[in-house]
């Protein structure tokens, strides 16, 4: 069953076409990552899937329910979002921030129930946030902050999470830690993940499926290994890419692609004059 | 904190009843207050009784209501617009009320009798300004909060221009009366006014305080709030309506009292943190107590004459605001 079904989705802003007639299924319990060059429409696609951007045309179904028929509260119980640049309100504790994830469940007039609090504590413990649960959110490092934002999304108790560039700004260690954490949630809890990632190697290694976009259109979709090794990948980025197998893992290596004109302009790089 | 705030309000209210040109002992006032709730007997003379219950008490109660409403509305506006400079007059309430009151005071059409019409036209002007702001700002539903604030600035400028023109076209005596109204006063407080304002303040304060949890969610911004399940447009409509309606009701009776709505929530934020679940109820008590004290100062410092209460709140408010801003440098009190 598809956790998210996107049918003929188009998003226009004025005359600009951000997404052009995309149809896509994200199978339940899998991790699907959207890749593509800047301006390909990755963020627009996942924001539409998360319900925070209205489509110009087409439909999005979450667990077979048409998103356009859901209000904010119903939607927040079906799908959670980790935005690219989350707002971190200084003065709020990590525990209170994670607790915001329960808003759709207890409503805006009622306080959190014992069950809500227990769920928040469970997520805090699961993501190893316990030792700074009472700290001000503004005092966290980048890696801790991203874990906290993921914790807020998990506290929504949805079966589907959408993440937009969740590891941008993190160092390599924290990138891997974060993606491992997410992978564990998919494998152990059956979570469905739709994310965007710029790093093609990490996208290929962690996601089950990849969706390649270019200029707002879906170019290729399928198992990660197939998409990473497809000729469309290099074509979409308009550059030369090599895929190297290291211990069974695909590593995408960009190759500097200098034309003869470029060589003539930079002869000193090769120690010879053309 | 909540209990000490209530105690502060009670002490300030009793102080407000005791302060005045006619000296009345504390014990007599306390006994009279207690007798009004059915316990003991009042020992006040009939003159003292008249002064306490017909002159001072409505004034103190009106100050409590106005201070509470302005502070809660200010805190609510700061939360819903995520703007530390927001105050209850942000969407043009003050300019609208000012224009309405000025129309009444200068007696346009000669059919108005000022004491009756001033609050009515001030109330109508305030609501008209907010409604126009809401419409121009894209009904506030689809637009973001910045658009609404800018629409408020434009409407306020327009209404102030009309108000200034009317004011300057009249005699100096009329201008003085308009200025006095603009600076705010509780001098003409009566139980009748209290009864008019009371339901607005009770309902609007209750709505605003109840929205504290929603304002906490809104602190992560409109987009994230929606993804968390908050009906942002509906929440904004309800709290802006409640804040504006309550503020309009208060200023139509007491005039434009400045600074309370902006400094009290900031001071409370320093004391209790950034959660609106705490800021709004504590601001209610702090604002009420502050305005009673300010009124006490307004009617005693140049006795037997009186200072406009707006002058006192600004004189106290400006230095306190500077102090708060300085404290912000060493301690974060506003989400960046």
Q: Is A138 on the interface with B (CB under 8 A)?
A: yes
A23: enclosing H helix or E strand: strand A16-27
Pick B153 or B43 by higher pLDDT: B153
Determine contact, residues B227/A121, Cβ cutoff 8 Å.
no
Q: Give the burial class of A129: count Cβ atoms within 10 A of its Cβ; 0-12 exposed, 13-18 middle, 19 or more buried.
A: buried
Q: Is A52 on the interface with B (CB under 8 A)?
A: yes
Domain spans, chain A: 2-238, 239-274
Instruction: Please indicate, yes or no, if residue B336 is contained in any of the structural domains.
Output: no
Q: Do B229 and A83 touch (CB under 8 A)?
A: no
Q: pLDDT at position A271, please? A: 30
Q: pLDDT at position B31, please? A: 84
Q: pLDDT at position B27, please? A: 84
- Burial pattern B236-255, b for ≥16 Cβ within 10 A else e, equals bbbbbbbbbbbbbbbbbbbb
Determine contact, residues A79/A49, Cβ cutoff 8 Å.
yes
Q: pLDDT at position B220, please? A: 94
Average pLDDT of chain A to the nearest whole number: 90
Instruction: Please indicate, yes or no, if residue B335 is contained in any of the structural domains.
Output: no
Q: Do A96 and B275 touch (CB under 8 A)?
A: yes
Q: pLDDT at position B280, please? A: 96
Q: What is the pLDDT of residues B3-37, one digit of tens each?
A: 888 888 999 998 888 888 788 888 888 888 888 87
- Per CB-CB distance under 8 Å, the chain A contacts of B229 are 72-73, 75-77, 103-105, 156
CA dihedral B195, B117, B76, B194 (to 10 degrees): -20
Q: What is the pLDDT of residues B47-83, one digit of tens each?
A: 888 888 888 999 999 999 999 999 999 999 999 988 8
- Per CB-CB distance under 8 Å, the chain B contacts of A94 are none
Q: Do A92 and B335 touch (CB under 8 A)?
A: yes
Binning pLDDT at 50, 70 and 90, where does residue A267 land?
very low
Q: How far is A43 from chain B (nearest CA, A)?
A: 14
The CATH code of the domain that includes B317 is: 1.10.3470.10
Q: What is the pLDDT of residues A202-246, one digit of tens each?
A: 999 999 999 999 999 999 999 999 999 999 999 999 888 889 989
Select the residue of B228, B332, B334 nearest A103 (Cβ to Cβ).
Answer: B228
Residues in chain A: 274
Q: Is B230 on the interface with A (CB under 8 A)?
A: yes
- What is the ipTM metric for this complex? 0.87
Domain of residue B183, residue span: 2-330
Name the residue in chain A with its Cα closest to that of B223: A52
Select the residue of B219, B220, B223 nearest A52 (Cβ to Cβ).
Answer: B223
Instruction: Please indicate, yes or no, if residue B36 is contained in any of the structural domains.
Output: yes
CA dihedral B217, B220, B222, B225 (to 10 degrees): -40
- Per CB-CB distance under 8 Å, the chain A contacts of B223 are 52, 83
Mean pLDDT value of segment B215-224: 93
Q: What is the pLDDT of residues A136-156, one digit of tens each?
A: 999 999 889 999 999 999 999
Name the residue in chain A with its Cα closest to that of B226: A72
Assign a CATH topology to domain A2-238.
Rossmann fold (3.40.50)
Mean pLDDT value of segment A174-198: 94
Q: Among the residues of A163-246, which ranges form H helices?
A: 172-189, 200-206, 224-228, 231-237
Select the residue of B210, B217, B226 nearest A100 (Cβ to Cβ).
Answer: B217
Q: Do A76 and B228 touch (CB under 8 A)?
A: yes
Q: Do B334 and A91 touch (CB under 8 A)?
A: yes
């Amino acid at each position: 069953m598809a956790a998210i079904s996107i049918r003929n989705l188009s998003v226009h802003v004025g005359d600009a076409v951000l997404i052009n007639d995309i149809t896509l299924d994200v199978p339940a319990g899998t991790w699907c990552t959207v890749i593509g060059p800047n301006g390909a429409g990755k963020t627009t696609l996942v924001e539409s899937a998360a319900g925070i951007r209205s489509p110009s045309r087409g439909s999005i179904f979450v667990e077979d329910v048409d998103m356009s028929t859901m209000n904010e509260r119903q939607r927040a119980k079906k799908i959670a979002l980790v935005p690219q640049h989350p707002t971190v309100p200084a003065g709020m504790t990590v525990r209170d921030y994670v607790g915001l994830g329960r808003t759709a469940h207890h409503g805006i007039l009622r306080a959190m129930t014992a069950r809500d609090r227990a769920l928040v504590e469970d997520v805090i413990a699961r993501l190893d946030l316990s030792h700074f649960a009472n700290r001000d959110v503004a005092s966290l490092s980048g890696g801790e902050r991203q874990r906290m934002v993921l914790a807020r999304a998990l506290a929504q108790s949805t079966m589907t999470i959408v993440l937009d560039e969740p590891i941008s700004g993190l160092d390599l260690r924290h990138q891997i830690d974060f993606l491992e954490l997410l992978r564990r949630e998919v494998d152990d809890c059956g979570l469905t993940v739709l994310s965007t990632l710029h790093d093609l190697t990490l996208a290929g290694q962690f996601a089950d499926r990849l969706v390649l976009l270019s200029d707002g259109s879906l170019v290729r979709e399928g198992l990660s290994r197939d998409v990473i090794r497809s000729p469309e990948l290099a074509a979409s980025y308009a550059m030369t890419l090599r895929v190297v197998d290291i211990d069974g893992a695909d590593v995408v290596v960009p190759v500097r692609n200098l034309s003869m004109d470029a060589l003539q302009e930079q002869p000193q790089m090769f120690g010879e004059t053309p | 904190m909540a209990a000490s705030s209530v105690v502060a309000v009670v002490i300030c209210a009793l102080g407000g009843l005791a302060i005045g040109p006619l000296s009345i002992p504390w014990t007599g006032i306390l006994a009279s207050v207690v007798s009004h709730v059915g316990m003991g007997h009042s020992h006040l003379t009939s003159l003292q009784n008249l002064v306490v219950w017909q002159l001072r008490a409505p004034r103190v109660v009106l100050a409590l209501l106005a201070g509470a409403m302005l502070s809660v509305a200010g805190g609510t506006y700061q939360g819903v617009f995520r703007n530390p400079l927001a105050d209850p007059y942000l969407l043009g309430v003050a300019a609208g009320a000012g224009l309405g009151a000025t129309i009444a005071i200068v007696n346009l059409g000669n059919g108005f009798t000022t004491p009756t019409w001033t609050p009515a036209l001030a109330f109508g002007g305030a609501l008209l300004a907010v409604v126009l702001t809401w419409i121009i700002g894209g009904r506030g539903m689809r637009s973001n909060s910045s658009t609404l604030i800018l629409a408020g600035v434009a409407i306020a400028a327009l209404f102030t221009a009309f108000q200034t023109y009317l004011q300057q076209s009249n005699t100096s005596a009329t201008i003085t009366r308009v200025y006095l109204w603009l600076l705010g006063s509780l001098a003409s407080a009566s139980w009748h006014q209290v009864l008019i304002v009371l339901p607005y303040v009770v309902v609007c304060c209750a709505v605003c305080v109840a929205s504290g949890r929603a304002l906490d969610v809104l602190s992560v911004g409109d987009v994230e709030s929606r993804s968390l399940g908050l009906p942002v447009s509906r929440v904004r409509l309800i709290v802006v309506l409640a804040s504006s309606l309550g503020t309009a009701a208060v200023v139509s009776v007491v005039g434009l009292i400045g600074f309370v709505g902006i400094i009290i929530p900031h001071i409370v934020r320093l004391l209790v943190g950034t959660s609106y679940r705490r800021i709004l109820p504590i601001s209610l008590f702090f604002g009420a107590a502050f305005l009673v004290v300010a009124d006490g100062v307004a009617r005693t410092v140049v006795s037997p004459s009186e200072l406009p209460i707006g002058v006192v709140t600004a004189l106290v408010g400006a230095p306190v605001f500077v102090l708060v801003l300085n404290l912000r440098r060493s301690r974060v009190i506003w989400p960046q």
